[in-house]
Structure 1
């Protein structure tokens, strides 16, 4: 930390240009007062959405207020993230956060009022009024939820109970992050260090096998001590999802999770089926890894170790930009020009400074340029992060440019596709152009690990989720032993005979917070598969591949995610995208298995 510069010591050319939203805090305060005065008038529409004109007036006025509020919200958060110790921006952020909750309450009447109208009446109003036609998808999306919306009193009751119903997740979070401790282990230098969830990942990737084993056994040993409590909290969470789906008249929790975005249930089940049909590829990977690591037997704690160590290479930011530009060259001049202008026009906050928020993200609003927060540290991983976050930003840039305000945001199902496509093009480029055999092997292993952890592992999680929900839906209770057995059997099936499935890993299900967000994890795998399909089509020079991909980027949220991807040439209702990812996995295995 002693070497870290203060915010004001960093040259302006390395900082994002947030002053393009507001030149000063005074300008921000003025807009904040304007929004407060204007937004209250939204309440005047309540009870009056009786015809097309009134609905159209509301949507236009709500857009005007929301766009201004979005600017206020984004500016305050970006300024606060530049230096989280800056109390001026802390208070600005706090002020706008509190206000946004109030603003949301002004518009809460809209959906219930639309649902109270007759479907045929709304459709006739859309046909009658030209101005309402662009909102057809938005309104129809609300109407299709009608069978699952309850009476006003029931909705209020569920809303009031929501905090209690979230208890299992809150309990898991506090138990695993605050109360659980893992004691001390010896690190690679023989020093006693505290084992935490935070540093576990570096131990499990470390060269020293004894340290890996000790960290693995100690971490999972602590989870094992609490397995009955953690099983009870997971069962309670799943029962809550099952209860909620029944109350809302869905057939099951999976339907309740997927149907709002019109994702066919087959997309979920088919992904699991396709991965099960291709598990021999993962078994082969384990066998090759065992050979490359020179092990007599490979254990679960050996899975994350790189097959080869390479010296760290320093890559300055401008060199990183040039590498990414070369990798993205197949996307064509227009895409590259947007990327370059983003770098030159102040989209990116590049380097770490004292107090700056950690990690990386892409953000922005309908009326702002995209903003990318990096903590660039001149490593290869940072180059990949740059490609990833700029993928998000250029997706947002296209969406906002091509779509009206209400359709400018894309769904979670599509959110990681553009960022991962960029990463896929980058790793392809690096592998293809690497002359040093050791470095090439390292890069191939990187991509193999990405597919193993993002596609195989997440679909194993998805299979576990389906089993637990369906079992509890049938009224069959699940104990810690049941969860352990299901998890053990899945690990045996996925990883094959070459690996020792250590008993400690049986309790790993209890460590995964994503199981408290219903049917969430499969989207990592589907997003990666869609990105692989796009990057393959682009690299193979398929006809119109780049135009179709840009069509995806321009679609925002103007349709359901399955339709948006299908229109761009990637049909997630088929086996093809995941099979293309596995084909790439096999190609990489061939490269290192010689």
Structure 2
């Protein structure tokens, strides 16, 4: 499949990065400005604040530096991902890594200065600073994981080396990956890449799906040893950092994320991660039933791995142009209120989505939504005129709207804990599915299929990935060597537990790595699906009003994740929310 150059796409369907910086030179000037601000912040952090005014100045300058860093990251990331072969974009990314390395020791100095305050003195100083109280207290708690200036400098200096495994893993899926070329049943020739692999596996022709699966994984397994070694080195670096900083484990380090980073680290207790895996594993029957339903609907005696992605809908899938998909999405958001829909429409009108796959654009992911507090969100999409990628756009628009609400406040709170961040995006998919079901016809049939896939993927398959990554991480933390055989066996055991209906006889074992994200990230999708299903139920029965949900979005950066879940009447420390999510998924299967 030939992709057009980006210049051939109407500007209306390409995001406009001049909304961030007018030109690359302005990015460089902003980087230099950040360096100067960091020098000022370092000077402020050199002395423990003695008055409320000094504390406020320290916190305000910290916030300002994070705001500038976010903007630099956003522009560098987006400009690189629409032109992956650009040398200037690659140089900008390297310059960003250098700026980040300089940033971290200064941020550590701020936390150290706050940690040096006695509890009584801190309480007295922060008492008149109501709007800074949560921010200041969270930064101060992080002081226990800050080390001496000399150690912090060493950690920062080795950031480039510690991130090397991610660059290796990315190259495997991009430059080094030699995409197999196959002929489709319609005679068209296609190169199977990470970005279109799932699409090709949805082809109705079973023999073609088998050839796609086998050819793709044969090429990927060519890098098996490299994938596992890079994953092992990434985990070893994470374990070393966790140990140096005094975290209990890699998991303890990772369950504190927010996006975009504003300095906050709202911790999700480690036992919640255990509860997620235990609860999902105790409720696998609906997922197993989904596999049996798939086998029956496809009329197969043996369900094979290449049968996972093909639609169960009988009618041919409708073709959707982008404008039609856009209106479907906007119509589906009506339950969230007119004000919400107006914001969504304004975002779509503002050239903030890069819609189509193009040459040199990153296509190894379906879509994503980066943001900064100052600039808001942008969406890099790879819309292909089908139901699946329509849902991907809806998903990312959920992230974009969450950003729109949480950035109404100051930069320090214009963020969202990763434990909570997938609720608005998956809620969008649920609402879109329901709207398409009301439309009826072929669109409804394929939307129902997508609805089941959405929950199966987020609730169950991401729980499986979370369990796999946890197994790899604990292997490395225990001092054992992470070999190809160990990784392959761990993945095979989880496939047997989660996907027992699939017949893998004669199928080469797959190799999976730790991925490009931090090791513990898949859990957020399980929580997102669980939370989104609960929100949809409460919107429907009237126990949660649309304006209350919008208020929830605006407060995610102002409180710990457990409090955000509690605001939705969810206690994710118990099995109950996950049991209800599994029961809802089971009900969806009745409609297939």
TM-score (norm 1): 0.82
Match of 1:287 among 284, 292, 299: 292
Equivalent residue, structure 2, for 1:501: 504
Equivalent residue, structure 1, for 2:246: 249
Q: Secondary structure at the match of 1:555?
A: helix
Q: Secondary structure at the match of 2:57?
A: helix
Match of 1:238 among 235, 240, 248: 235
Deviation of the 1:426 alpha carbon: 1.1
On the 8 A contact 2:34/2:65 being kept in 1, the answer is yes
Equivalent residue, structure 1, for 2:415: 409
Equivalent residue, structure 2, for 1:561: 561
Residues 1:298 and 2:303 aligned together: yes
Q: Kindly provide the CA deviation profile for residues 151-194 of structure 1, in whole angstroms up to 9, marking residues without a partner as x.
A: 33333333334444445444444456544647555543567765
Equivalent residue, structure 1, for 2:494: 490
C-alpha distance in structure 2 between counterparts of 1:564 and 1:15, whole Å = 34
Of stretches 374-383 and 440-449 in structure 1, the one that deviates more from structure 2 is 374-383
> Kindly tell me: are residues 282 and 74 of structure 1, through their superposed partners in 2, closer, same or farther at Cα, counting changes over 3 Å?
closer
Deviation of the 1:290 alpha carbon: 1.0
C-alpha distance in structure 1 between counterparts of 2:28 and 2:240, whole Å = 45
Residues 1:457 and 2:461 aligned together: yes
> Kindly tell me: are residues 526 and 348 of structure 1, through their superposed partners in 2, closer, same or farther at Cα, counting changes over 3 Å?
same
Residues 1:579 and 2:570 aligned together: no
On the 8 A contact 1:347/1:369 being kept in 2, the answer is no
> Kindly tell me: are residues 278 and 386 of structure 1, through their superposed partners in 2, closer, same or farther at Cα, counting changes over 3 Å?
same
C-alpha distance in structure 2 between counterparts of 1:36 and 1:249, whole Å = 29
Match of 1:213 among 197, 210, 214: 210
C-alpha distance in structure 1 between counterparts of 2:233 and 2:19, whole Å = 48
> Kindly tell me: are residues 257 and 355 of structure 1, through their superposed partners in 2, closer, same or farther at Cα, counting changes over 3 Å?
closer
Equivalent residue, structure 2, for 1:265: 270
- Unaligned 5+ segments in structure 1 are none
> Kindly tell me: are residues 461 and 502 of structure 1, through their superposed partners in 2, closer, same or farther at Cα, counting changes over 3 Å?
farther
Equivalent residue, structure 1, for 2:318: 313
> Kindly tell me: are residues 435 and 308 of structure 1, through their superposed partners in 2, closer, same or farther at Cα, counting changes over 3 Å?
closer
C-alpha distance in structure 2 between counterparts of 1:462 and 1:16, whole Å = 33
Equivalent residue, structure 2, for 1:277: 282
Q: Secondary structure at the match of 1:308?
A: coil
Deviation of the 1:407 alpha carbon: 1.0
Deviation of the 1:202 alpha carbon: 3.5
Q: Let me know the Cα RMSD of the aligned residues.
A: 4.2
Match of 1:400 among 384, 404, 407: 407
> Kindly tell me: are residues 370 and 516 of structure 1, through their superposed partners in 2, closer, same or farther at Cα, counting changes over 3 Å?
closer
> Kindly tell me: are residues 62 and 383 of structure 1, through their superposed partners in 2, closer, same or farther at Cα, counting changes over 3 Å?
same
On the 8 A contact 2:357/2:383 being kept in 1, the answer is no
C-alpha distance in structure 2 between counterparts of 1:121 and 1:167, whole Å = 40
On the 8 A contact 2:72/2:96 being kept in 1, the answer is no
C-alpha distance in structure 2 between counterparts of 1:111 and 1:319, whole Å = 49
- Unaligned 5+ segments in structure 2 are 257-264
Bigger-Rg structure (1/2) = 1
On the 8 A contact 2:181/2:190 being kept in 1, the answer is yes
On the 8 A contact 1:347/1:372 being kept in 2, the answer is no
Q: Kindly provide the CA deviation profile for residues 71-129 of structure 1, in whole angstroms up to 9, marking residues without a partner as x.
A: 68767877x58985999xx9799779847954873684343254255555365244345
C-alpha distance in structure 2 between counterparts of 1:416 and 1:123, whole Å = 38
C-alpha distance in structure 2 between counterparts of 1:223 and 1:2, whole Å = 22
Match of 1:480 among 481, 484, 487: 484
Q: Kindly provide the CA deviation profile for residues 187-221 of structure 1, in whole angstroms up to 9, marking residues without a partner as x.
A: 43567765544454344322222232233334434
Equivalent residue, structure 1, for 2:261: none
C-alpha distance in structure 2 between counterparts of 1:478 and 1:100, whole Å = 28
TM-score (norm 2): 0.82
On the 8 A contact 1:534/1:545 being kept in 2, the answer is no
Equivalent residue, structure 1, for 2:519: 518
Residues 1:143 and 2:140 aligned together: yes
Q: Secondary structure at the match of 1:569?
A: coil
On the 8 A contact 1:172/1:513 being kept in 2, the answer is no
C-alpha distance in structure 2 between counterparts of 1:209 and 1:244, whole Å = 47
Deviation of the 1:367 alpha carbon: 4.3
C-alpha distance in structure 2 between counterparts of 1:243 and 1:562, whole Å = 28
Deviation of the 1:326 alpha carbon: 3.0
